[in-house]
Amino acid sequence: MQIKVRTLTGKEIELDIEPDYKVQKIKERVEEKEGIPPVQQRLIFGGKQMNDDKTAEEYGLEGGATLHLVLALRGGCSVQKESSLRRRS
């Protein structure tokens, strides 16, 4: 089935997927077309962020569906660094 992935700039990416594709595989298809690593992608459907381990079918995706792509924020402090900082204080 064909779906569309719309970026924040309004660009639409058409993908041909199968109902048993996991969201992670859909992200890999987006990477093939746009060069955006899956780890930086957040896919939204029905106003909710999609879980990488669920399938298109589990989300009820049908041909013609549109997903929204947002980029994950990079940076921040990891839990390990944060706890190390607390011990030093």
Q: Which domains does the chain have, with CATH numbers?
A: 2-88 (3.10.20.90)
- Region 65-76: mean pLDDT is 85
With residue 13 as reference, give the H or E element that holds it.
strand 12-16
Q: Evaluate the CA torsion angle 46, 55, 36, 71 in order and state its sign.
A: positive
Using pLDDT thresholds of 50, 70 and 90, give the confidence band for residue 36: very high
Question: Would you say how long the chain is, in residues?
Answer: 89
Using pLDDT thresholds of 50, 70 and 90, give the confidence band for residue 70: very high
Q: What is the pTM of this model?
A: 0.80
CA nearest to 24, candidates 70, 56, 58: 56
Using pLDDT thresholds of 50, 70 and 90, give the confidence band for residue 40: very high
- Sequence-distant (6+) residues with CB within 8 A of 28 are 38
